[in-house]
């Protein structure tokens, strides 16, 4: 089955003692999408507002034959900061795209606002706000995975 996953990035909340620009990378295997918006955060303003920027990913999702459950399709959301010429990762969120697929008689996160704590972050209270929507594109899809930037 082929699905389109559309991530809407709302905000990153992170305390940093100096002014930096923030970017977010959606990474799945060797593919990566990076936000075009680069909001600033500082000691006075700890919210990076991404103004609902969208990142779109097409992915083939398979079911296990025996259990009929979807196989995991994991990716990472990586928060990076840039000060001058130095860019570094300051937090990560691991995602399972299968969690955003509507399933019969099962809870789903499809279209729900997520506030997820950043792992591996120097600010223990840092989190990212986003929404993911999935749409079934083809029930019998095979072939290479594609990834693209949304507008």
Which tens digits make up the pLDDT trace of 77-117? 999 999 999 999 999 999 999 999 987 666 789 889 999 99
Query: The tokens 């706000």 sit on which residue?
Result: 129
Which tens digits make up the pLDDT trace of 4-34? 999 999 999 999 999 999 999 999 988 899 9
Which segments of 29-126 are extended strands (E)?
31-34, 40-41, 47-60, 74-83, 86-96, 114-117
CA distances from 107 to 23, 55, 74, 83, 100 (A): 30, 23, 18, 41, 9
CATH code of residue 12:
2.60.40.150
Q: Is residue 151 part of a domain?
A: no
Q: Determine the structural domain holding residue 81 and report its residue range.
A: 2-141
Q: Which of 49-53, 74-78, 102-106, 124-128 shows the lowest per-residue confidence on average (mean pLDDT)?
A: 102-106
- Predicted local confidence at residue 104, as pLDDT: 67
Number of folded domains that form the chain: 1
Q: Is residue 149 part of a domain?
A: no
User: What value does the mean pLDDT take over residues 66-77?
Assistant: 90
Q: Is residue 95 part of a domain?
A: yes
Percent of the chain with pLDDT over 70: 91
Q: Is residue 94 part of a domain?
A: yes
Which tokens hold the place of 131?
């929404």
Q: Is residue 147 part of a domain?
A: no
Q: Is residue 126 part of a domain?
A: yes
- Predicted local confidence at residue 93, as pLDDT: 97
Q: Is residue 113 part of a domain?
A: yes
Could you tell me the pTM of the whole model?
A: 0.86
Q: Is residue 61 part of a domain?
A: yes
**b/e per residue 46-60 (b: at least 16 CB within 10 A):** eebbbeebbbbbbbb
């Amino acid at each position: 089955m082929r699905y389109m996953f559309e991530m809407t990035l709302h905000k990153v909340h992170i305390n940093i003692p100096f002014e930096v620009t923030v970017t977010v990378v959606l990474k799945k295997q060797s593919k990566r999408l990076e936000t075009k918006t680069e909001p600033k955060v500082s000691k006075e303003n700890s919210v990076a507002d991404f103004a609902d920027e969208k990142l779109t990913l097409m992915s083939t999702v398979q079911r296990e034959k025996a259990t009929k459950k979807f196989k995991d399709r994991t990716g990472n959301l990586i928060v990076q900061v840039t000060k001058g010429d130095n860019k570094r990762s300051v937090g990560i969120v691991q995602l399972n795209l299968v969690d955003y697929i509507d399933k019969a008689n099962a809870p789903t996160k499809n279209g729900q606002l997520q506030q997820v704590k950043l792992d591996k972050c120097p600010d223990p209270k840092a989190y990212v706000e986003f929404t993911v929507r999935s749409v079934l594109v083809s029930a019998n899809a095979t072939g290479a995975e594609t990834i693209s930037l949304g507008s």
